[in-house]
Each structure stands twice: as C-alpha cells, then as structure tokens.
Amino acid sequence: MNIEFNRNEDEMKQAISKMRNHLEKIQLGGGKKAIEKQHEKNKLTARERIDYLVDKDSTFLELGAFAGFEMYEEYGGCPAGGTVAGLGYISGRQCVIVANDQTVKAGAWFPITGKKNLRMQEISMENNLPIIYLVDSAGVFLPLQDEIFPDKEHFGRVFRNNAKMSAMGITQIAAVMGACVAGGAYLPIMSDETLMVEGNGSIYLAGPYLVKAAIGEDIDNESLGGAVTHTEISGIADYKFKTEQECLDQVKKIISKLGNNAPGLLNRATPVPPKKDPAELNGILPAGNLKPYDMLEIIERIIDDSAFEQFKADYGKTMLCGYARIDGWAVGIVANQRLITKTKKGEMQLGGVIYNDSADKAARFIMNCNQKKIPLIFLQDVTGFMVGSRSEHAGIIKDGAKLVNAVANSVVPKITIIIGNSYGAGNYAMCGKAYDPRFIYAWPSAKIAVMGGDQAAKTLMQIQVAGLKAKGQVIDPVEEKRLLDEIKDRYEKQTSPFYAAARLWVDGLIKPADTRRVISEGLTAANSSTQMPEFKTGVFQV
C-alpha cells in the first residue's frame, strides 16, 4: 500500500473511533445511575430488552442511534432520541423493534422521538415487516409539547399509522413494561396483541394524581391501569406476566407462529464474497474528500466476486451505472465517479459533478432497473450539477430534471449510502432522504449541505462585506479573515455526518466495512414487500 492509502486509512480510522466513542456514550442512555434505578425496579433497560428478545445467533441492526445527538442540551439531552430501535430477527423472522428508553427523561417523547418512531413505522409499512413496541414512556415531553403534539408528523401520527398498518395486515405487538399514559395509551390498544408486566406495566389516559385533581378520586397506579386491571376487568390487555423475560418469551412465541406472506419479489443467488478485500475500503476515500479517486475500487469491495457489469461505460463517465450482486441480491448501482475524465472532444470533466451526459445515462439506467424489477443502490459522493453557460445552454436543468424524475418515480426498493460529499441538488438526484430510499446510511466521512464549507463561507462572506460597504463601512483584512473562519466553522458543523444523523437525515452512520452487510439487511427487508407498483415517469422534457 502507498503512503496516500495509509494517510487515508488513518483518517478514516480516526473518524470511526470518534463515531464509536460517541456511540458508547449514547448507549448509556440517561446514564449509569438511571440504569441502576431501572434495575432496582426489576426492570431491564431498553437495550437489555432487545438483546433478550432477538435471536442469539443474529445481529440487531440499530437505526437512528444518533437521533438527538447534541440536541436539547438545555434539557439534559436526549440520547438516541429516547428510543432504541432497529431491525432484528425474532424466532427467525425479521422485525422492526421500537423500545422506549425509560432512563432518558422517563421515556418521554421529544420532537426527535416522534420523528424516529414515525420513521420506524414507515420502514415497517414500506417493507411489510412485523413491528414490536416495547412500551415504557411517560408520554409527551411537556416543555416542548408544541413541537411534538398537534401537527401532521407529530405524536398523533403514530396512532393513525397503527390503524393504517392494521388495515395493511402488518403484525403489531405491544409489550407494556412500564408507563403508557395519556395519548400514548392508544398505541398498545391499537396493536394486534397487548402484553403487560405485573407491577410495572400500566395503561391509562390519566394517572392517579391527575385523576385526583380532575374528579377527586383516590386510586393507586395498579388499580387504575395495571396488568390485573386490564386483563381481568377492562379486557384491554391480552396477557399478563410476572417478569419481563416471560413477557418477551411470549412475544417470541407469537412471532414464531406468523404465516409467511412475503412474496420474494427480488432475485437472489448464492452469495459470493468480494474478490477485493472490503477491509481496504478505509484507505480508498481521500482524506477530507478533496482529491479524485476511482469509485469503482469501492464498488468492487462491496459486490459479489467484485464483478461489476457497467452500463454505457464510455458515456457519461462522471456517473458509474451497472449491474451486480450484493450478498447474492441482484442490484443496479448508481454511483458518482470521482476521477477526472476526458470527453471525446478532449474536454475535462470534474469528478463528482453531474454533467448532462451522466444525468441522461443515470436516468436511462434507473428506468431500465424499474423495468426489470431490480433494486437500486445509490453511492453518493457528489458536489452537484455542472454550472456555467456551456452546461446551461446544453440544457443541464432539463437533464437534471429527467434524472430527478426517474429517481422520484422509481418503484423498486432504493438504498442510499453517502460515502463522501452530498451537496445541493446532487443529494436529490442521487436519492437523498427526500426521495424515499428504503434505507439511507452515511460513512463517517460524509458531508451533507447545499454546498461545501469553503464555497458557502466565501459566498456568505461576500454578501456580508457587500452589505457593510453599502453602508459606507470598511472591513480590514484581519477582521474579514476572522469572520470568514467563524462562518466556515459554523457551516462545517452543520455539514458533519453527526449533525445529519442527529436529525435523522440518515438512518445511521456505518463503518465502510459494514456497507455490504447493511445493504443486504435492507434488501432482505425489502423482499418482504407485498407488491411493486407499475412504473410511470409522467411528463418530462427529452
């Protein structure tokens, strides 16, 4: 390996180490003392519940672990958005699992909690996967109630989804292991089956204190809405158990008896490992995302047998399109090529930029994959569409719109991996979050923004200086540099992968070596989908 590779590898390893350190803190939830209090009540933590529930020979793929990262600090933070969630195998069946983390503000719902829970339900609906709710929540976080309670994508949407999912035939199981109060009480009752743990699980619209204040009735927690009350008197719950382990064992039994309605629409062959070593992925991406590199080297370390069948290999060279298999699954890959290339006319094309020909090529390939019912994998390292008079006169907006149209109307499952830059309309054209990928992940090297930090800082600086000059004020070079650095630092913080993951612009941050595995898990989930609609692109200029 050369010096450049070693330098790149060192930077990626540092980024992975930083990601791992953050994750270790996130996984403590509300902290060690809060975990101890949970254990004192004979309660498991959210992560311990999931660990007990999933099959021992399987891996739980956590989603949204960075949700809420460095947000709500004035309230003590909200690690993982107060909810641990992801894909796990229960009795051999892939399921979505959502567990309230009671150690984080008693499992209260922050705005990001609502967004994360709705995302998990969306994954369940899109992929026709059973969903398990492990309930232990105090309800809406009152100081932020206006940001979580009334709007279309807020708390109440969860119960609307419960009803829609039930009509779709998606299995929903709720295990109530702690508080389930106010509006949150509807979730277990709108699930297919409700399980409760005696002594800790409770369901009611108003707790004892509120009941006393509202109607003057004195009543204890258990009598009001405990497991005995709801299994023997109200009939709201279906099962009661002495321990959480017994409760979770029953969830396993229920899932083990589900009928298999997965149609298996996607093509899968016997998996073959890549010929090129996936461990080398750490050293290919240039440090700082600044230099050209061959995206094909990354693709060949993700796909089976490192065998990539390129589509229009000699046309639109800033975009790589082609067919391959990933862990046996047939896929179409659309990836930004970062090498500087030459056209037949001898013109140089910058890597990572979408030109007219590369947009045209990618749109055509996406339509082909939809025709053949082949899922699409997008590998993003894009700085945007080419600008300037030559591109404008050639119709770059038209060709870009054609690509966006194809991505937006695509009906096959789409999975997006943001490897490096994800700037401007390039994010949209390469299936960013707004374009409904089934799953979207980012490497620790990812940067998501309207434009790069340097360009944005200089643009904002020019506007600020022009404003001062218009007022007759002069800014000296030292002050100008200070302002430029301040703007750049602020902007670059917002482009970091942690900032993106905190706001659920991506489902998770992954190590490069895990790319193949998470894509395969996503395709396994997508293969449970019950149908694939007819592909229509509507009207666009040719």
**CA 448, CA 495: separation in Å to the nearest integer?**
5
Per-residue pLDDT at 260 exceeds 90: no
Percent of the chain with pLDDT over 70: 98
CB 442 within 8 A of CB 436: no
134 forms beta bridges with 99, 175
Return the closest-CA partner of residue 509 out of 112, 119, 65: 65
- pLDDT band at 541; cut points 50, 70, 90: low
CB 363 within 8 A of CB 402: yes
CA distances from 252 to 60, 145, 153, 257 (A): 15, 35, 31, 9
Tell me, rounded to whole angstroms, the distance of Cα 306 from its chain centroid.
27
Return the closest-CA partner of residue 309 out of 388, 228, 374: 374
**pLDDT tens digits for 419-462?**
999 999 999 999 999 999 999 999 999 999 887 777 777 777 77
Give the helix ranges, DSSP H, for 300-395: 356-372, 389-394
Structure-token match 């591109």, residue found: 391
CB 285 within 8 A of CB 293: yes
**pLDDT tens digits for 324-383?**
999 999 999 999 999 988 877 777 788 899 999 999 999 999 999 999 999 999 999 999
| DSSP sequence for 441-495 | EE-TT-EEESS-HHHHHHHHHHHHHHHHHHTT----HHHHHHHHHHHHHHHHHHH
380 forms beta bridges with 418
- The overall average pLDDT reported for the chain is 92
Q: Which residues contact 511 (CB under 8 A, 6 or more apart)?
A: 16, 19, 443, 444
- Pair of tokens at residue 365: 């390939």
Return the closest-CA partner of residue 67 out of 104, 35, 95: 104
Query: So what's the pLDDT on residue 401?
Result: 92
